[in-house]
Each structure stands twice: as structure tokens, then as C-alpha cells.
Amino acid sequence: MDPSLKSKVLGLLYTGTSGGCFACASLFVKLCGDVPIPLIILVRSLLQIFTCLVLNRVSWRQTLHPKGKLTMLFAFGILGFVTVYGVYLSFQTISLGEATVIISTCPIFVAVMERMFLGVAVPVPTTVSGLVCSVGVILLTHSGLAEGDTVRDGVYGVGFAVVTLGTVTQAATFILVRQMEVHFVLPVFYLGLSNSALSVVIAGAQLTPQFLQDTSPLQWAWMILVSAFAITGSFTLNVGLQHEQAAMVALIRNVDIVIAYVFDVLIFRHSFSALSLLGGGLVVIATIGSGLASLLHQAGNYKKVGSELSDEYSEPGLSA
């Protein structure tokens, strides 16, 4: 297989895996109940740092302080904290399906930023898939929004505000990863450092021994599962960003919207309708279609180059 085509396949596979992992992490954040978001982030961050140090020591052996990259890595970590905090807080104030409506707009922000900062034009199939996916997301969550499963008060408004902010900063982290061109363990490690420090600053007064003792064993178990899936998702997402354009990665990540909505229906008993099923189908079709279009485009380029080389060496005087 052509190396560039293989790279795209790996990018799409890793990105799809990350979407599933983050959807599972979202579920367990919801199950954590009234546990403060900074505590969930702190547990995740400490385990993330430990995981990076161990795996880097055992296998990757990357320097954790690369010259000329520290500013971008810390910027990535801070933006990542805003993303995680905003998205996790929204999961506790609005439904998973409603939160993912906003998160699904991430490919739009990524496409704009990728054009502005990386000079990369978004292919037409990706643009069309993004539009189809957006329509699918609206249909997917239409019934929940229409029935008003959550009371629309001040807290509800905050949920939408923070998830929107988290979506924009998430798009910025995608661009930073593409721009830094570092080993995928480094963004994950610095995300853990920044998240742990900022979560302690924000919730330091709450994290008393008595409070930690009052947190139930089941809530600690949920936080461990949040961490496991989020860390795996971070690794696979950053690997995917090293193989595929940021806009495509953001679009494929939308597969977690369908998974989140399934969790909403099966676990939290939110209602669904024919429009929801249609919307879910459009999201799946859009994400799979964009991935196939990218692979076919790359395969076409490979065949074109091979044909040109074959013609060149078949000219008189060039044959063996």
C-alpha cells in the first residue's frame, strides 16, 4: 500500500477510535453526578501524567521539554483545560445529545482556523459532509430540544455557553497539534500538567480531606473510567492528527455524537423519534462518506503518479 494512503487509513481509524473513547468518557462524566468538574479533571490529569511518564520511559523515550516547542505545548495545555472544563460542565447541566449539537460545530471552526493558520484548503467532499453532518445533528437532537427535557434556566444557559467555548478552544488545539509536529505523547503530557495545575487552583478550597472522603466509591470508579477513556481518546486523537488534516479529523470525531445519543436513549431514558433516527443515519453516512472520499482521492493520486512514472520510463531510450 502507498505510504500516504496507509497514513490516511491509520488517521481515520485512530480518529474514529478516539470518538468512541470520548463518548464513553462523556457517559461516565454524566454518571459522576454532583462531583465537581475540577476534581474529575484532576483525577484524569494525574493519571494522564503518570501514564505518559511510564509509557514514555518504557517505549517512546521522547524528551519532554523539546526546544522551541514549550510555548505551544503550554498553550495547548491551557486551551485543552478550557475545552475539557467547558465540555464536562455542560454534561452536568444539559443532556449529552444537546451538548453534542454544539460540539458538532467543531469542524466548522477547524476548517476556518486551518485555512487561516496553516493555509490548508478544505476539500469539497469534506465541506459537503460537514453540512450533511450538521443537518443530521439537528435532526438527531430535535425531539429532546423540542420537548424541553431540561429546564431552561440560568444554569441551562451556562451549559450552552461553556460547551460553545469548549468547542472553539478544541478547534484551536487541533490546529496546534498539526502545527507543532511533535511526538503525540507530548501534547497529552502537557495537557495533563496544565489540567492538574489549573484544576487545583480553581477548586483548591473544595478539595478538603472531608470532601474527598464523602465522595462515594462508585463516584471514584466513574472518575477512573472517565480518565481511562479520556486518556486513550487523547492518545488516539493526537496520533490521528499526525496522519490526517485537522478538518477531516474534527468531522470524523462527530461519530461520538451518535454514540452519545444512544447513551441518552438507553441509559438516561431520553425519548427518540423517526427524525432522530434519520439524523443519526445522516451523521454516520457523512462521516463514513468523507473518510471514503479522502481515501479514494489519495488512491487516485497514487495511481496517477504511478501511471506518469510508467509512461516516463516506457519512452524510447528509457527502458531497461
Q: What is the CA radius of gyration of the chain?
A: 21
Instruction: Count how many Cα atoms sit within 13 Å of the Cα of residue 17 in the half-sphere of its side chain.
Output: 17
Report if residue 124 sits inside a domain.
yes
Task: Report the candidate in 34, 23, 25, 51 with the shortest Cα–Cα distance to residue 219.
Answer: 34
Q: What is the pLDDT along the chain (320 residues), one digit of tens a residue?
A: 566 778 888 888 999 899 899 989 989 998 998 888 889 999 999 999 999 999 998 888 888 888 889 999 999 999 999 999 998 888 888 776 667 777 877 887 888 888 888 888 777 777 787 778 778 777 765 544 444 444 445 566 788 888 889 989 999 999 999 889 888 899 999 999 999 999 988 877 777 777 778 889 999 999 999 999 999 999 999 999 988 888 778 777 777 777 877 887 788 777 667 777 787 778 777 767 776 776 676 666 545 545 544 554 455 544 33
* Burial (0-12, 13-18, 19+ Cβ within 10 Å), 119: exposed
Report if residue 242 sits inside a domain.
yes
Report if residue 25 sits inside a domain.
yes
Res 221: pLDDT: 96
Report if residue 243 sits inside a domain.
yes
Report if residue 312 sits inside a domain.
no
Res 79: pLDDT: 96
Angstrom distance (rounded) from CA 61 to CA 193: 18
Angstrom distance (rounded) from CA 121 to CA 58: 39
Q: Please give the helix or strand (H or E) that residue 273 lies within, else none.
A: none
Report if residue 212 sits inside a domain.
no
252 is in which domain, residue-wise? 3-206+224-305
DSSP state letter for 56 = I
Output the pTM of the full model: 0.78
Number of domains in the chain: 1
- Decide: 49 and 289 in contact? Cβ < 8 Å: no
3-state secondary structure of 308: helix
Report if residue 56 sits inside a domain.
yes
Report if residue 92 sits inside a domain.
yes
Res 195: pLDDT: 93
Res 41: pLDDT: 93
Res 265: pLDDT: 79
